[in-house]
Amino acid sequence: MLLSLEKGFLFIAAGKTATTSLTAALLPHVTTDRARLPFTIRLSVPERPEMEAIVNDERRPLTDPETIGAVMELYAAEHPFELAFANRESGFERRSTDLNDFRHVPARAARSLIGDALWARLFKFAFVRDPWDWVRSNYVFKRGLDGVLRMDVEAVEWARDHVSLRQLAVPYRTQHAFLAGEDGRVGLDRIGRFEALGRDFARIAERFGIDPALDRLNATAEMAVADPRTIYTDAAAQRVGELWAADFAAFGYTC
């Protein structure tokens, strides 16, 4: 998630929906003064106390080069670590040993981290993707492939089983589950579409007076066909319709 107290927005970053490109565009406007944030950030690295001290120093903004360097070093190092975010008032905590779990925070966890009052004041948005393409993209990305031209039932179920655990412990880890609140409803102010990324982000950027330009970053291998549904066998297509029924229904995509 990306929070800007200055601009008044909260971006919920659902995986495989151009989140790297969107993050790059929004990052200059994100609040980095930790004293102003509604949550604390704590890093535990038993084997690297000097790194732990740098990241846990609340006098350093999140964009401090030394802080960023210490965090980035965790990506390459084999040292065990735990990163925890905690709401200052309620004490709600989110802990993980996967740094991406703090980039891709589900909406319900984000609300608990920032608190109901701030949640109500912010303009909250996210992007979603056609389930046919989202399943394909997850499969290609998780398997490290250059692309795929055929998806059978085995591939679909592999994709289901390997969507990151940050997608919540709910059936088949749908985009809907990631963006929905405790009541099962998506209570965000704007849902953009991956298929209209430039147009939809430009509208959000205009609202906040920020640059609408997006770089194409961390993109999964492109499809060789215009309609991603055509790469699924009949049985696989039926399985996608069953497993991601909530996404089709919630976001208006054609099953």
**pLDDT single digits (tens) 195-211:** 999 999 999 999 999 99
* Whether 107 contacts 184, CB under 8 Å: no
Q: What is the mean pLDDT of residues 37-64?
A: 93
CA 227 to chain CA centroid, Å, is 25
d(CA 171, CA 205): 34
* Whether 122 contacts 7, CB under 8 Å: no
DSSP symbols for 136-167: HHHHHHHHT-S--S-B-HHHHHHHHHHS-GGG
**The pLDDT of residue 170 is above 80:** no
Q: Which of the two residues, 101 and 93, has the higher pLDDT score?
A: 93
Burial 158-186 (b: 16+ CB within 10 A, else e): ebbeebbebbbeeebbbbbbbbbeeeeeb
Q: Taking each helix axis from N to C terminus, what angle separates 234-243 and 131-143, rounded to the nearest 10 degrees?
A: 100
**The pLDDT of residue 166 is above 60:** no
- Provide the percentage of residues in the chain whose pLDDT is more than 70: 93
Q: What is the mean pLDDT of residues 211-221?
A: 74
**The pLDDT of residue 165 is above 90:** no
102 confidence band (pLDDT: 50, 70, 90): confident
Confidence (pLDDT) at 159: 92
d(CA 16, CA 192): 13
d(CA 177, CA 180): 5
| Nearest residue to 39 (alpha-carbon basis) of 99, 95, 123 | 95
223 confidence band (pLDDT: 50, 70, 90): low
Q: What is the mean pLDDT of residues 99-115?
A: 91
**The pLDDT of residue 171 is above 70:** no
Which ranges in 122-233 belong to alpha helices (H)?
131-143, 153-162, 175-179, 197-208
Other C-beta atoms within 10 Å of 149: how many?
10
Task: Give 46: exposed, middle or buried? Use CB within 10 Å, 0-12, 13-18, 19+.
Answer: exposed
